[in-house]
Each structure stands twice: as C-alpha cells, then as structure tokens.
Amino acid sequence: MSLAPDTTATERSIGSASRAFLMGLALPAQPGFVVEENLDELEELARSTGMEVVGRSLQKRQVPDARTLIGRGKVVEIGRAAAELAADVVIFDDDLTPNQVKNLEGVIACAVIDRSALILELFVRQARTREARTQVELAKVEYDLPRLTRRWTHLSRQVGGVGVRGGEGETQLEADRRILRTRIKQLRRELLKIEQTRELHRRGRRGAPIVALAGYTNAGKSTLFNRFTRANARTENKLFATLDSKVRKGHLGGQRAVLFADTVGFIRKLPHHLVASFRSTLEELTQAEVVLHIVDVSHPRWREQMEVGEDVLADLGVEMSHVLPVFNKVDRCIDGPTPPEGGLAVSATTGEGIAALKAHLVERIGSDPLC
C-alpha cells in the first residue's frame, strides 16, 4: 500500500528556493556584531547553494522563546517582510526544534529551515565520492529522523492483522521512522566497511611521512594541496567546494616522497551529526607528522576562523605540537600583515612563501623521530 505524504513547506526541497531571508538571534552572552558576522557567513552558505539572499533581520532577546525562538511579534514581522520580498525560505542561524519549525511555518507563509539544514543541503550537493555521499546521507537521515512528526498529518492506520508487523497496525509515521532507522543501520555498516578499507590503506602507507592540510572552509587548502602534489584537485571560491579527503604523493624538493592529505573544511556551528559522520575522514589529521593549519589571512575575521580550527583540531585529539599555522592568501593583503609568531605566510596561488614552507617541512620531518 502506497501512501503519499502531506508535504509541508519544509519538506519541499530547499534547492528549489531561490530567494532567502536570513534571521539571527542575539542573546546577552553574544554581542550583536558576532551575530551579524554569523549572518554574513550564513549568507555565504546560502549563496553557495545558489540562493539569492533578499533580506535579513536580527532579534535581541534575554532568552530564546521556547515556541518560536524569536517571539511571536517578531515572527509576524518576519512573515510580512518575507512576503513583501517574495522569499521562498526563511533561514535561521540557530538550530530549531521540530515544534519551533511547525509554529514558525504556521505564521510565515514559506519554508523555514535552520543553519544545520542549510549546511547539510550544501554537503549533499557537493559530495562526490562514495565515502562522502555515505557520510552526508547518514548525517542528513539522523537530522531528519526527529523531524518526521509533521510529515504525516493524517496518521491513518495501515491495515494490520495476524502476522503483520506492528500488531493491529502502525501509523504511517511509525513506518516512516522504522524505514529511516533501518537506513541508518545500513549506512553505518557501509561506513564501517569504508573505514576498514581506509585503515588498510593507512597501514600500506606506513613509513612515508604524512603532511595533512586542515583549516576553515575556503581558506585555500586544495590550492596548496595541488601545488604540493600536482593532483589537480577541484578548487572554487566558495564554501565547501570539495568534501572528499584525498591523499597524494608529493615531494619537498628532495628525493624523499611525502604523503599530503587534504581534509574537509571547518565552519562555525557545524552540525554535530556531520562531524560524527566525517570523524573517520578527519582522523587523517591525527595520523600526520605535521598538520598545516591553513588560515585565510585576507579574511576580515581570520582570527575567529583560526580559533574555530584550533578548537576542532583539539576536539579530534590532534597534538598541537604537530600543528603549523600557515597564513595563506597574503597576495590579497594590501598591508602585507606579519603573521603571528610560529606561523608562515604564503600564497598558494602565486607561490609566494612556498619555498620557505617546504624548507620548514623538510626540517620538521627530517628531525621527527617517527620518520
């Protein structure tokens, strides 16, 4: 028996939404300018999915509203603004509960999603390899599971009987949840197999030093990776242009081969399901003799981005003594800023500073007792 869901605005693909309105919440512990910066990044994320951002708003509150996050009055205001601007979707910079989305869509006459849903949508679009697609699908299914409540408004009973799963019958919602839980188990088994294969590859590479590249999304990791390895990895001036972890052989000027690993970029408020799904990929960072923490020094908020990267590396258990800050895109800096002590300034695009970086790596790897 086939039952079609009563699809609400949120269940429609946000990929078809071309006009987006952004909404941020400023609490006392978080200054307004920080929320504005987060909205700037949210706008970049939206544009990376092909959306046109037509407006934005910021609400200051002492505490989040349990029903709508921003308060009923502000919801009405946003609903009017979105209608006037012909917005297809309102994107909140903070995570929303399923009930909050339901309450918001009861007032706002278009789809309502949160930052996590937008990031997951972007990852779905950008995933290329089997591993990346599996990791992203697992994260998305785990995100969707608790949000199935509103998908079925009729909740009609399926026909049940003796020997039929569900006893007297089960609601379509229950059946849908069961299907998703089964899919989660399948994806986890598939990821386990992929991880086992990755571990075999790691064992086969033992003896060769590994230099891993990490950092905020769009900091220039793949461009630098290409310069070291001539791998011709995909590069674009957009967030999360590539999600696939790559390991390639390269040289630092001598005869000794070095393995370079490019990893998925970091970003603020990365959905925890996504971090968990990509953890095996990011473990390349814990295996490396040197981790190059790539920082886009031309970005106005590069210090905050660097802190996000440091936090993620620490959470992954990376030894900070193995981390070398690399301040990229110095060719875009008018004043030519001097990087903090302990880091190297380069331009992956022009080649400026690359020779000094290679010499430093030769010194680091050559003196490493593990090599």
pLDDT of residue 346: 93
Structural domain range at position 307: 208-366
The predicted structure's pLDDT at residue 136: 85
Structural domain includes residue 3: no
For residues 260 and 344, state if they share a domain. yes
Q: Token pair 């079925």 is at which residue?
A: 152
Which pLDDT score, from 0 to 100, does residue 183 have? 93
Pairing of strands 257-262, 246-251: antiparallel
Q: Give pLDDT, residue 56.
A: 96
Q: What is the pLDDT of residue 365?
A: 83
> For the chain, which residues score pLDDT lower than 70?
1-17, 149-170, 200-207, 231-244, 254-256, 277, 280-281, 335-341, 366-371
Which two structure tokens, joined as six digits, stand for 319? Answer: 């030894």
> Do 22 and 102 belong to one domain?
yes
Looking at the structure, tell me whether residues 250 and 182 fall in a common domain.
Answer: no
Domain count along the chain: 3
> CB of 3 within 8 A of CB of 172?
yes
pLDDT at residue 101, rounded to an integer = 92
Contact between 196 and 168 (Cβ < 8 Å): no
Are 18 and 134 found together in one domain?
no
Task: Determine the Cα–Cα distance for residues 166 and 168; give it in Å rounded to an integer.
Answer: 6
Q: Where are the beta strands (DSSP E) in the chain?
A: 19-26, 52-60, 89-92, 111-114, 210-215, 246-251, 257-262, 290-296, 323-328, 344-345
Residues 357 and 342 in one domain: yes
How far apart CA 264 and CA 285 sit, in angstroms, is 11
Tell me how far apart the alpha carbons of residues 294 and 224 are, in angstroms, rounded to a whole number.
9
